[in-house]
Chains A and B, each alone.
Chain A
Amino acid sequence: MGRKLLLEHVGKPGIQGLEGYRANGGYRSVEKALRTLTPEAVLEEVKKSGLRGRGGAGFPTGMKWSFMAKPPGVPRYLVVNADESEPGTFKDRYLMERIPHLLVEGMITASFALGANVSYIYIRGEYFYIHRILERAIGEARAAGWLGKNILGSGFDHEIHVQIGAGAYICGEETALLESLEGKRGNPRIKPPFPAVKGLYDCPTVVNNVETIAAVVPIINDGGEEYAKIGVGKSTGTKLISAGGNIKRPGVYEIELGLPCEEFLNSDEWCGGVEGRALKAVVPGGSSVPIVPAELFFKTAKFEPRLMTYESLADGGFQTGTMLGSGGFYAYNDAQCIVRSTWNHTRFYHHESCGQCSPCREGTGWMEKVLHRLEHGHGRMDDIDLLWDIQKRIEGNTICPLGDAAAWPVASAIRHFRDEFEFHATHPTKVKDPKHFEKEPFVRKPKPVEA
Chain B
Amino acid sequence: MPKVTIDNIEIEVPEGTTILQAARLIGERNAADRHVVPPTMCYYSSLKTSGGYCRTCIVKVTKGSDKDPRPMPKPVASCRTNVMDGMVVANTTDADLLDARRAVTEFLLINHPLDCPICDQAGECHLQDLGYEHGLEASRYQFERRTFDPIDIGTTIKLHMNRCILCYRCVKVADQLTDGRVHGVINRGDVSEISTYIQNVVENDFSGNVIDVCPVGALTDRTFRFASRVWFTNPVDAHRDCPKCSGKAVLWLKGQEVLRVTGRKDQWGEVEDFICNECRFEHKDLKAWTVEGPRKIDRHSVIGQGHYELKRQQRMLESAAPNVPELNKAKQPDR
Contact = CB atoms under 8 A, between A and B. Distances in A.
Contact of B166 (A185, A356, A382, A399): A356
A399 B52 contact: yes
Contacts of A350: 189-190
Interface in A329-366: 350-359, 361-366
B147 to A, nearest CB: 14
B55 A355 contact: no
Categorize the interface residue count of chain A. 20 to 34
A362 B143 CA distance: 12
Given A361-B166, A393-B107, A353 B189 contact: yes
A398 B55 contact: yes
Main SS of the interface on chain B? loop
Given A366-B141, A386-B140, A358 B54 contact: yes
A350 B143 CA distance: 15
A55 B7 CA distance: 39
Contacts of A24: none
Nearest to B184: A185
Given A359-B103, A363-B107, A353 B188 contact: yes
SS class, residues of chain A in contact with chain B? helix
A385 B334 CA distance: 11
A14 interface: no
A359 B77 contact: no
A132 to B, nearest CB: 28
B107 A190 contact: no
Interface in B71-104: 73-75, 77, 80, 99-100, 103-104
A78 to B, nearest CB: 25
Interface string B35-78: 00000000000000000111100100000000000000111010
A393 B103 contact: yes
B290 interface: no
B174 to A, nearest CB: 14
A397 interface: yes
A365 B74 contact: no
Contacts of B151: none
Nearest to B166: A355
B185 interface: yes
A362 B52 contact: no
Contacts of A369: 143
B223 interface: no
A217 interface: no
Nearest to A369: B143
A397 B185 contact: no
A170 interface: yes
B75 A396 contact: yes
Contacts of B108: 358, 362
B11 interface: no
A353 B54 contact: no
Contact of B189 (A364, A386, A389, A396): A364
A95 interface: no
B190 A353 contact: yes
Nearest to A350: B189
Given A353-B189, A356-B53, A393 B100 contact: yes
Interface string A299-332: 0000000000000000000000000000000000
A362 B100 CA distance: 14
A232 B192 CA distance: 45
Interface string A178-196: 0000000100001000000
Interface string B137-155: 0001101000000000000
8 contacts: A350-B190, A353-B188, A355-B189, A355-B190, A361-B192, A362-B107, A366-B107, A397-B55
Interface of B: 52-55, 58, 73-75, 77, 80, 99-100, 103-104, 106-108, 110-111, 140-141, 143, 165-166, 168, 184-185, 187-192, 334-335
Interface of A: 168, 170, 185, 190, 350-359, 361-366, 369, 382, 385-386, 389, 393, 396-399
Minimum-distance CB pairs A-B, first 4: A393-B103, A355-B192, A362-B107, A353-B189
